[in-house]
Structure 1
Amino acid sequence: MQRKNFLVLLVLLLVSCGPSSFAQPTSANPPLRVAATVGMIADVVKHVGGEHVEVLGLMGPGVDPHLYKPSVGDVRILDDADLIFYGGLELEGRMTDMLEKLNRQKPTIAVTSQIDQSRLHATGGDSFDPHIWFDVILWRDTIAVIVETLASYDPAHAADYQRNAAAYAQELTALDQEVKDLIATVPTASRVLITAHDAFGYFGSAYGFEVRGLQGLSTASEAGAGDVQSLAEFIQTRQIKAIFVESSVPQTTINAVQKAVQSRGWDVAIGGELFSDAMGDAGTEEGTYIGMVRHNVTTIVNALK
């Protein structure tokens, strides 16, 4: 452990002398430099911070946070940032220890830190499912810790942060109702969501879906032949119309499930690609949290109703 800490500090020292990963200040009051691990968090911070923040995300489209290893460039971003936001609940896997240690040097905040554990899905021991963004109302409630942190670090703009946060919270409340209205068009018996890994538990609880994932909550767990056959039997027995791939998980596992189902005499379709642990490309609708949710729900509804 001491060697690991030494290496982290050494990398920080090496990159701290390099060029900044954030824009160079052009005014006497430059924006706060904020780093976020995943795109969903970066998007919330941009909405709350507005013109007063510059946000850099570490993990882009198609990146799996469970398996992610920070690059030297990522360490430079973390070193240059004034504030750091991450998911917590072991979402960032191998990065978690480093992020917790960085809190000794600068505010490094898990956006899930203020959510009552009774609202989380326990997975055994002191562990919880980290994929809370699939329940829009639960994700809306992460805004509080973000606005509180920004306002505490930059009190001169606290009123702006609070106003932006209230406006974005209203957007997410409307999004939650939009999701419910779309899902109401799917027959109750057809509300079964099957994906590559078990990331959609909160979605199922919030919106009335039975959810099955081939792999566990983390893609670090591997699915074996028995898992494939068991899921294929479930799909054939229930005569499920479609299963889904994920943008951050290789499609090969879902293809194997589809073939196993077909061998049992039932033709299940690939219903489309969902965004689970990462959003879409920057500049697209799916590159925002709201756009990602709309894409996922529309894809699910069109395939199952």
Structure 2
Amino acid sequence: MRKIITFFVLFISLIACKPSAKKENIKFTVVTTTTMITDLVKVLGGDAIEVKGIMGAGVDPHLYKASEGDVTKLSQADLIIYNGLHLEGKLVDVFEKMNQMGKQTIALSDFLSHDQIINSEMFASSHDPHIWFSIENWKTITSGLVKALSKANPENKDVYQKNGAAYLKELEQLKTEMTVVIESLPRKKRILVTAHDAFSYFGKEFDFEVVGLQGLSTATEAGVKDVQRISDFIIENKVKAIFIESSVPKRTVEALQASVESKGHEVKIGGQLFSDALGNPTEETGKYIGMYTYNVNTIVNALK
């Protein structure tokens, strides 16, 4: 074990002191963190660039720690793109190391204005990092990233601009379609109870009251008092369904359901939502638009 640790420390030291050699005849390489970012960069870059995501389906970015392979990818990247606002909290030191190496990094949250970000004193950055659940935010981020990619890799500027323009139209269509679906649900039924507090941007955009059993970070465990408080809320507001999340263990939501039932009431688990990660990349939920559509349909159908 000591040899492995020593090797890893030496590896970090070497890449920190010596930037990777520029290889010829290789596509511009972008390394991304979350699956939402990976999908967006692939949409914008198409076949013109190589995109390497370090997180996969169902991975929780709040708790993610960089592996030796991740550090290698990051050290060899032409550009690193991450969410920011401390979403990838355990990778902050790695990003700082990459900056010291001269690696260009981009935080998508930097493209948003102050009034587009939800403040929260309950999270490390004092802001809610789940910025992708606002379609309007994602449109702003798309436009900002097109400009940033064009500046970092001007050879593919036309590709980024063309794909970005097309994707913005798709996002606008998504917003229109989701609005129609959500309007079929009366406002008094728009109460979304989930495993952790990831959906406030969604709630703000579509007029939902959002309640998370855990806090903004899944590193915050829900206690007995949290379960009791929210079960009382569910009963008082006659909430029909609560939701588990693909990147969060379902045991806390099951405990909440049991608490409601112990008080003589019923609440069903309305389905699994995708929160901090997309679904399988071979399926529609493995894309941002497919994920968003699936989530909205699941929520509305369960709460009707």
The residue matched to 1:34 in structure 2 has which SS?
A: strand
CA distance in 2, matches of 1:90, 1:145: 20
Q: Once the two structures are superposed, what CA deviation does each residue of 1:183-209 show, in whole Å capped at 9, x if it has no partner? A: 011111110000010000000000010
The residue matched to 1:212 in structure 2 has which SS?
A: strand
Q: Which residue of 2 aligns with 1:175?
A: 174
CA distance in 2, matches of 1:273, 1:256: 16
Q: Which residue of 2 aligns with 1:229?
A: 228
159-168 vs 273-282, greater mean Cα deviation: 159-168
- Please give the root-mean-square deviation of Cα atoms over the aligned residues, in Å: 2.0
Q: Once the two structures are superposed, what CA deviation does each residue of 1:258-297 show, in whole Å capped at 9, x if it has no partner? A: 0000111111000000000000011110001111101101
Q: Which residue of 1 aligns with 2:55?
A: 59
Q: Which residue of 1 aligns with 2:3?
A: none
Q: Which residue of 1 aligns with 2:154?
A: 155
Q: Indicate if the aligned counterparts of 2:196 and 2:218 stay in contact, CA closer than 8 A.
A: yes
Q: Indicate if the aligned counterparts of 2:86 and 2:125 stay in contact, CA closer than 8 A.
A: no
Q: Which residue of 2 aligns with 1:191?
A: 190
CA distance in 1, matches of 2:7, 2:115: 37
Q: Which residue of 1 aligns with 2:298?
A: 299
For residue 80 of structure 1, what is the amino acid of its counterpart?
Answer: Q
Q: Once the two structures are superposed, what CA deviation does each residue of 1:90-114 show, in whole Å capped at 9, x if it has no partner? A: 0101112321332342111101112
Q: Which residue of 2 aligns with 1:85?
A: 81
CA distance in 1, matches of 2:144, 2:11: 29
151-160 vs 113-122, greater mean Cα deviation: 151-160
TM-score by length of 1: 0.91
Percent of pairs with identical residues: 49
1:7 is displaced (CA, Å) by 9.7
CA distance in 2, matches of 1:67, 1:190: 32
CA distance in 2, matches of 1:9, 1:144: 39
209-218 vs 71-80, greater mean Cα deviation: 71-80
The residue matched to 1:35 in structure 2 has which SS?
A: strand
The residue matched to 2:281 in structure 1 has which SS?
A: coil
For residue 223 of structure 1, what is the amino acid of its counterpart?
Answer: A
Q: Which residue of 1 aligns with 2:262?
A: 263
Tell me how many residue pairs correspond in the alignment.
Answer: 291
**23, 39, 44: which one pairs with 2:35?**
39
**112, 115, 120: which one pairs with 1:118?**
115
Q: Which residue of 2 aligns with 1:3?
A: none
Q: Which residue of 2 aligns with 1:131?
A: 130
Confirm whether residue 97 of structure 1 aligns to residue 93 of structure 2: yes
CA distance in 1, matches of 2:26, 2:251: 46
Q: Once the two structures are superposed, what CA deviation does each residue of 1:47-73 show, in whole Å capped at 9, x if it has no partner? A: 111121111111111111001111111
TM-score by length of 2: 0.91
Q: Indicate if the aligned counterparts of 1:103 and 1:109 stay in contact, CA closer than 8 A.
A: no
The residue matched to 2:161 in structure 1 has which SS?
A: helix
Q: Indicate if the aligned counterparts of 2:8 and 2:68 stay in contact, CA closer than 8 A.
A: no
Q: 1:237 to 1:94 in 2, by over 3 A?
A: same
1:149 is displaced (CA, Å) by 2.2
Q: 1:246 to 1:126 in 2, by over 3 A?
A: closer
CA distance in 2, matches of 1:194, 1:299: 13
1:156 is displaced (CA, Å) by 2.1
Q: Which ranges of structure 2 fall in alignment gaps of 5 or more residues?
A: 1-5
